[in-house]
């Protein structure tokens, strides 16, 4: 069965789009859900032309519904591109930087993206300028080069991982494009239900589909969305030649997970706000990082460009590294694990990773709030913080 783009109205709300997008055509006895197509190649004779599937590394009918749905959610005018992982999508995006070019990236970024950029710089492929992404003046100076070469790409992440700084996406996009830089925005933390980077001026939006979009900690996948045909063609070529393609079963699972995105985000955001407020008053916590708190430095900026504040928060535990580790070990409901955006609540001390920037406090814990009852989540946090910090 050939997939056809959804024919539903264009003015649907995003929480309807996650359910309606990427459905098969409404024909008698057609399936409601798109099927999984398991094939490494396709029937064809003669010269391959644009639009032919030809071979499984170039295309798969199971990708189409997911790529269509993600495109609609982000407001892209072209179909999205899914990749085998978030880092595969990062690699494709970084490939757009010309040899000898300049990349401006937040000093607090997804660790994999930052390490990849550092390694590519070490090989002489481009120059990396890291910045405090919440400081417009610093970012603009890095973009313009302050008398040196201007940047070729601005990498945005807002809120950042894990310090939750909020970038002025619209303002920085205008500054970047004024010097001819391509803007890539990692929208993994916010999801398209909370923030629309393309509408704010970004050229490309990146997602680790692994996280909120699939939402069940059972898929590894990345995605890139753009409305620029030239950029999309370059990204598609990179995927086809470098081979970082998603499996059809993973694409099917991700689309199934996407169907409940609105419900999951609504629940986890509300719980994150409640937990952040309570933790802000807890004696065992010295600092809470969460843009939903009025006291947070990024609060007003987040209000202006987001429809919510996300479901990730960070706390600095009273005491040092050992105390923070003890708090994690004392938890019984929260799962100590990396990653985020699943239905289950996860927690980890970020500096346990060797490549995490030294500017991330050693006693900082990142919390990915899931969809469990908020009172159960709070009770577990409270008992762990109270027991451990009281014993110090």
Give the position of tokens 């010269």.
47
Active-site residue among 23, 211, 301, 351?
A: 211
Q: Tell me how far apart the terminal alpha carbons of the chain are, to the nearest angstrom.
A: 64
The single residue of 64, 152, 168, 186 carrying the catalytic annotation is 186
> Are residues 342 and 364 in contact, defined by beta-carbon separation less than 8 angstroms?
no
Best CA proximity match to 317, nearest among 309, 325, 308: 325
Q: Based on the residue annotation, tell me whether 110 is a catalytic residue of this protein.
A: yes
Closest to 186 measured CA to CA, from 131, 122, 105 = 105
57, 259, 278, 352: the catalytic one is 57
79 in Cβ contact with 68 (< 8 Å): yes
Q: Determine the Cα angle at 331 with ends 365 and 297, to 5°.
A: 25
CA distance 97 to 187: 20
Tally of CB atoms within 10 A around 248: 18
Q: How far is CA 148 from CA 92, 142, 181, 316, 322, in A?
A: 26, 9, 15, 38, 44
Nearest alpha carbon to residue 66 among 216, 307, 247: 247
Total residues found in the chain within this entry: 392
Instruction: For residues 64 and 82, give the distance between their C-alpha atoms in angstroms, rounded to a whole number.
Output: 9
Q: How far apart are CA 195 and CA 336, in angstroms?
A: 28
And the tokens for 168? Answer: 């002025």
42 annotated active-site: no
Angle at 271 between CA 269 and CA 276, to 5 degrees: 95
Is the distance from CB of 30 to CB of 24 less than 8 angstroms? yes
Q: Is 57 a catalytic residue?
A: yes
Concerning whether 186 is annotated as a catalytic residue, the answer is: yes
The Cα 344–Cα 264 span in angstroms is 10
DSSP string, 178-216: HTT-EEEEE-TTT-TTT--TTTTT-SEEEEETTTTTT-S
Name the residues annotated as catalytic. 57, 110, 186, 211
């Amino acid at each position: 069965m050939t997939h056809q783009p959804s024919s539903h109205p264009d003015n649907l709300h995003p929480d309807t789009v996650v359910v309606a997008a990427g459905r098969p055509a409404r024909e008698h006895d057609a399936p409601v859900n798109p099927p999984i197509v398991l094939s490494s190649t396709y029937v064809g004779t003669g010269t391959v032309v644009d639009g032919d599937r030809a071979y499984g590394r170039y295309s798969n009918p199971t990708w189409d519904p997911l790529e269509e749905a993600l495109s609609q959610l982000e407001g892209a005018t072209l179909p999205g591109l899914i990749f085998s992982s978030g880092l595969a999508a990062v690699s494709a995006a970084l490939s757009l930087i010309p040899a000898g070019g300049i990349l401006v990236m937040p000093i607090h970024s997804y660790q994999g993206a930052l390490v990849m950029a550092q390694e590519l710089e070490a090989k002489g492929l481009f120059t990396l300028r890291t910045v405090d992404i919440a400081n417009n003046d610093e970012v603009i100076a890095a973009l313009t080069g302050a008398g040196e070469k201007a940047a070729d790409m601005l990498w945005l992440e807002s809120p950042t991982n894990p310090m939750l700084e909020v970038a002025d996406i619209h303002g920085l996009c205008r500054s970047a494009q004024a010097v001819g830089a391509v803007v890539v925005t990692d929208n993994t933390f916010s999801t398209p239900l909370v923030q629309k980077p393309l509408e704010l001026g970004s050229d490309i939006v990146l997602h680790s589909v692994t996280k909120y979009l699939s939402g069940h900690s059972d898929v590894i996948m990345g995605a890139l969305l753009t409305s620029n045909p030239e950029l999309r063609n370059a990204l598609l070529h990179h995927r086809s030649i470098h081979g970082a393609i998603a499996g059809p079963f993973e694409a099917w699972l991700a689309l199934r997970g996407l169907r409940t995105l609105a419900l999951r985000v609504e629940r986890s955001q509300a719980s994150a706000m409640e937990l952040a407020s309570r933790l802000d008053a807890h004696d065992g916590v010295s600092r809470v990082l969460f843009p939903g708190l009025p006291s947070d430095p990024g609060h007003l900026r987040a209000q202006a460009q987001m429809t919510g504040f996300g479901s990730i928060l960070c706390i600095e535990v009273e005491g040092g590294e050992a105390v923070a580790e003890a708090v994690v070990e004392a938890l019984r409901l929260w799962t100590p694990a990396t990653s985020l955006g699943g239905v289950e609540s996860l927690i980890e001390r970020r500096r346990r990773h060797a490549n995490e920037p030294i500017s991330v406090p050693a006693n900082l814990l990142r919390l990915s709030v899931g969809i469990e009852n908020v009172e159960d989540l709070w009770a577990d946090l409270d008992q762990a913080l109270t027991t451990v910090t009281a014993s110090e």
